Amino acid sequence: MSNSIGRITHRLKYVGILLGSAIRHDLQYGWTKLYRPSKKERLQFFFKTVEHQGAEISYDELRKILAQPSFGEIRHLDIFVGEPVLHHDVLTLGDIFTKSLPRLKSINFITKGVSHHIVLPQLISLAKALQAMGIGFIVSVSLDEISVSDTRKCMEDELNSIAAAIIMLEQSGLPVSIRYTLTPLNCQWADDILFWLEHHNIQDWAFRLEGDLILGSGEDCALDHTFSSEQKFHVAMFLDKLARHRRVELSRRIFYKRLVNQLLFDKPGNANYTWRTNCLTLDTLGNLDHRTLRESRKNYLCDMPDSASTRDLLKRGLEVVKGRYQETLGRDQTKTPTLLSVRPAKHNHPSEWKRVLITGWYGTETTGDKAILGEVLHFVKQHSPTAEIILTTLNRKISHQTSLELDDLAGASLVDIGKASSSALIESVDAVIVGGGPLMQTRAIQYIWRIFSEANRRQKARIIFGCGVGPLYTHEIRHMTTEVLQMSTAGFFRDQESYEYSRRLAPDGKFGVACDPALAYLQRWLDVNGSLKLHGRQQQSQISTLLRANTGEFIVDLGKKGLEDLNAQFAYKIAGILEQVCDTANAKAVLLAMNAPWVGGDDRLINRMVESSFTRPGALQVEREYFPLNKLIQSLAVSDAAIAMRYHGHLFCLALGIPFLSIDYTGTSGKVYSLIRRLGYEQWAEPWRDMDVERSARRLQMLLDEHVYWSDYLKQQSRNMVDLLHNTYSQVFDVARHQ
């Protein structure tokens, strides 16, 4: 009880802080402006760019411009420059601005930081002079124009130069901030930049978006439409991760969340860009006003507002309180069993399902989970072509992207999983399906338990569709899982182990056993796109990887630091294996990702760790961008061999007939080992923790040499499993068999 009171007190204190910030914000930026006209308090000074043609103004002409009355209230100055334009003007310009702007309080100098041996000594001298006058000075290093390439070499060279500049500035006592603008050309490198910032322990940094920002117009920041839909999702997930980053302050987190909603849902930004209406712009050609900025930089930046709005702060506070209340309510509701009796379904046959609710761990789906969902949808539409689909989600942003990638999900409704057990919703459907993934140890199982409880009360069909079962550690979670199994009216499991576990928990359950539904989806893809797979092959052998970082779910005897060290060692070993085989077979290694969103672990991060340990960059290709389901299958399908660690990475290779070296990260009682044993594929499996580089390299080389045999073997195993799946459909759901 005391712990609960303490948590509530902490949350209320947090909300109080947010409310105080909101009041201060309105006093400074809102209410006071009702009683006094807006003043131009910020000046942005741009050096001549390539687009500008004409002669620059002289120092005397600059002084005359700054003497105009409109500059009398300027308190903040931003100087935008690009090397090597600026060689000797820093001190002179500093003297002109400080003498011409009597109310000046701060100068922000924005530089690329590359030609630091020329510019930085002058900045240091200027900072000392400004300090004596009581004027603040900060250097903002822009990374917008650094080079990016597949080998990272150009980018790394420039970042090393910038790092040297930052060290020089910090040693001189100057505050430094870093800014990086995400564009369609560089957005896939965002995580590389973030890693670099964290590696160098840089505290003040921000990411921005390229867009059409019209200063002073009062309009929202419109995002550049040159971002593809996949790039928008990639950037949105990166910004969503930043919105939860420990080094990002509250107002910036809220700003990032707003950009995410703009990118994915086309929601208006409504951001308080207060500096837009109190800013003047001037360049070295003498052009003055907002129009100049629009002409000189067609694509400006969606930049962070001065502070979060009152509405944003209060909304965040309410979200915190509501989230804590729902967590507490969820704990209270799961303490007492509510199942009184199992009721039969009114419409248990798939042909009778006119409206279907599909639930599971959607909102955290990997590419493999999308393939599962694709098969669930195919099964429903096959037997009830006009059925309306409702999908529950733990994260609407991710499931929204999934709906763009699966044709059968087009037009489906998304509903938050916490609201899916409502009486009205359950009454409106004919069936509830748990589609794929395991019924496992997670508090989120309570959502499925509630959905099934309400569906049982209203006599709706309750289906287990190809799930695994376990691990289950606590009595509470085991109890809810048991009741979900007991309430099911039909279903099947993906493997024998899950089936037997379910029989122990629910002996009276009427279940079947088959395989993971994703295999059927992939089999159909191969049947349609087999010629594409052959056409995409190249003369140079390709080895693909489908890796993931291991987690505490499977490694329970180590702390966070110990697990991080083992993941780093694993990445180093993978690099060693690939280097040996690529060298021997003249092959190319392509590092793919089964999961790209930060939710559930971004596989591209472990891929970057492999890349950093690789000494032959010409033989390695790291896919940094976001791959939708179809593109990932296409990229994998042309491989001659693979290293599979993700469970569904194994299944993708199996269905596509790609010989793979298996990395077993789940242990001898886990799903990977169960699958490998079922396939009779033990000779090609390596334990994650004790993986031997030399042995693994020999095995991978043998798979390349014996590619044809093992490809045919895997395809046949896949066909056998899918054939069993179709038979299970007929037995469990009493439907005619379809191919």
pLDDT band of residue 382 (cuts 50, 70, 90) is very high
pLDDT the model gives residue 117: 61
Question: Please, what's the largest Cα pairwise distance for the chain?
Answer: 92
pLDDT in the model for residue 162: 84
Query: Looking at residue 276, what DSSP letter applies?
Result: G
More confident residue, 356 or 261: 356
Residue after which a domain boundary falls, among 513, 545, 573? 513
| Cα separation values, 130 from 59, 76, 227, 445, 682, Å | 19, 13, 41, 60, 70
Residue 478 and residue 366 in one domain: yes
Look up the domain containing 636 and give its range. 529-725
Q: What is the mean pLDDT of residues 195-220?
A: 68
Could you report how far apart the first and last alpha carbons of the chain are, in Å? 58
- Angle value at C-alpha 36, between 30 and 41, nearest 5 degrees: 80
Per-residue model confidence (pLDDT) at position 292: 37
More confident site: 589 or 303: 589
- Scanning the structure block, which residue is given the tokens 């009581």? 134
d(CA 454, CA 423): 7
Q: Grade residue 536 by pLDDT with cuts at 50, 70 and 90.
A: low
pLDDT in tens, 12-31: 665 666 566 555 555 554 44
Confidence of residue 526 (pLDDT cuts 50, 70, 90): very high
Question: Which is more confidently placed, 157 or 604?
Answer: 604
Q: How confident is the model at residue 436 (pLDDT cuts 50, 70, 90)?
A: confident
List, as own/partner pairs, every contact residues 496-500 make where C-beta atoms lie below 8 angstroms and the sequence separation is at least 24, other chains included: 496/674, 496/678, 497/468, 497/470, 497/674, 498/438, 498/467, 498/468, 498/469, 498/470
Task: For 522-550, give the secondary structure using H, E and C.
Answer: HHHHHHHHHHHHHHCCCCCCEEEEECCCC
The burial class, CB within 10 Å (0-12 / 13-18 / 19+), for 47 is middle
CA distances from 465 to 380, 456, 485 (A): 11, 17, 12
Q: Are residues 383 and 503 in the same domain?
A: yes
Calculate mean pLDDT across residues 723-734. Answer: 96
Q: Are residues 126 and 153 in the same domain?
A: yes
Asked if 362 and 420 sit in the same domain, the reply is yes
- The total of other beta-carbon atoms located within 10 Å of residue 97's CB is 22
Q: What are phi and psi of 602, to 5 degrees?
A: -80, 110
Lowest-confidence segment of 193-197, 200-204, 516-520 by average pLDDT: 200-204
Report strand pairing: 279-283 vs 431-435: unpaired
Sign of CA dihedral 43, 44, 48, 53: negative
Residues 500 and 537 in one domain: no
In this structure, of 116-120, 332-336, 340-344, the range with the lowest mean pLDDT score is 332-336
The confidence score (pLDDT) of residue 271 equals: 42
Position 439 pLDDT exceeds 60: yes
Res. 36 pLDDT band, cuts 50 70 90:
very low
Minimal CA–CA distance to 100: which of 75, 126, 66? Answer: 66
Give the model's pLDDT for residue 160: 84
* Residue type (1 letter), 357: L
pLDDT band with cut points at 50, 70 and 90 for residue 216: very low
Per-chain mean pLDDT for the chain: 83
Query: Are both 379 and 255 inside the same structural domain?
Result: no
Q: Determine, yes or no, domain membership for 166.
A: yes
Number of independent structural domains in the chain: 3
Tell me the backbone φ, ψ of residue 688, rounded to 5 degrees: -60, -50
On whether the CB atoms of residues 318 and 22 are closer than 8 A, the answer is no
Domain boundary, last residue among 272, 302, 332: 302
Domain for residue 341, yes or no?
no
Secondary structure class of 592 (helix, strand, coil): strand
Contact 558, 594 (CB under 8 A): no
pLDDT at 418: 94
If asked whether residues 478 and 604 sit together in one domain, one would say no
Distance CA 440, CA 480 (A): 10
d(CA 102, CA 72): 7
Q: Among 57-61, 283-287, 585-589, 674-678, whose mean pLDDT is lowest?
A: 283-287
Quick check: is 338 in a domain?
Answer: no
pLDDT at 197: 92
- Whether 489 shows a pLDDT value over 70: the answer reads yes
Q: Comparing C-alpha atoms, which of 370, 397, 112, 361 is closest to residue 239?
A: 397
Output the domain CATH number for residue 97: 3.20.20
54-68, 383-397, 506-520, 698-712: least confidently modelled range: 54-68
Window from 192-201, 317-326, 473-482 with minimum mean pLDDT: 317-326
Tens digit of each residue's pLDDT (9 = 90 or more) over 559-568: 788 889 999 9
Residue 481 has pLDDT above 60, yes or no: yes
Query: What pLDDT score was predicted for residue 48?
Result: 60
Same domain, 241 and 366: no
- Same domain flag for 541 and 495: no
Tell me the pLDDT tens digit for each residue of 579-630.
Answer: 999 999 999 999 999 999 998 899 999 999 999 999 887 899 999 999 999 9
Lowest mean per-residue pLDDT among 231-235, 243-247, 293-297, 460-464: 293-297
* Domain-located, residue 21: no
Q: Which residue has the higher pLDDT, 17 or 287?
A: 287
- Range from 279-288, 345-354, 716-725 carrying the lowest mean pLDDT: 279-288
Domain presence at residue 85: yes
Which of 118, 155, 120, 171 lies closest to 141, judged by CA?
120
Rounded to two decimals, the pTM is: 0.85
Give CA angle at 607 (601, 609), nearest 5°. Answer: 100
Residue 5 within a domain: no
Residue 737 resides in a domain:
no
Q: What is the pLDDT of residue 280?
A: 84
266 and 147 in a common domain:
yes
Distance CA 475, CA 505 (A): 12
Which of 302, 333, 368 lies at the terminal end of a domain, its last residue? 302
pLDDT surpasses 60 at 84: no
Contact between 231 and 625 (Cβ < 8 Å): yes
- The answer on pLDDT for 308 being more than 80 is no
Contact of 11 with 319, CB cutoff 8 Å: no
Whether residue 450 has pLDDT greater than 90 = yes
Q: Is pLDDT at 89 greater than 80 in this prediction?
A: no
How much helix, strand and coil, in percent to the nearest 5, is found in the chain? 50, 15, 35
Any alpha helices (H) in 38-152, and if so which ranges? 59-66, 90-100, 116-133
- Looking at the chain, the whole-number percentage of residues with pLDDT higher than 90 is 54
Domain harbouring 487, CATH code: 3.40.50.11720
Residue 319, in any domain of the structure:
no
Q: Residue 172: which pLDDT band, with cuts at 50, 70 and 90? A: confident
Share of the chain above pLDDT 70, in %: 79
Please tell me the predicted confidence (pLDDT) of residue 81. Answer: 73
Who's near 440: CB < 8 A, 6+ residues apart? 468, 469, 470, 471, 472
Q: How confident is the model at residue 214 (pLDDT cuts 50, 70, 90)?
A: very low
pLDDT of residue 159: 86
d(CA 731, CA 739): 15
Provide the H-helix boundaries in 134-249. Answer: 153-171, 190-199, 229-242
Spatial separation of the C-alpha atoms in residues 496 and 500, rounded to whole Å: 6
550 versus 120: the higher-pLDDT residue is 550
Q: What are phi and psi of 330, to 5 degrees?
A: -65, -40
Is residue 571 domain-shared with residue 461, that is, in the same domain? no
- C-alpha closest to that of 282 among 113, 458, 74: 74
Residues 64 and 186 in one domain: yes
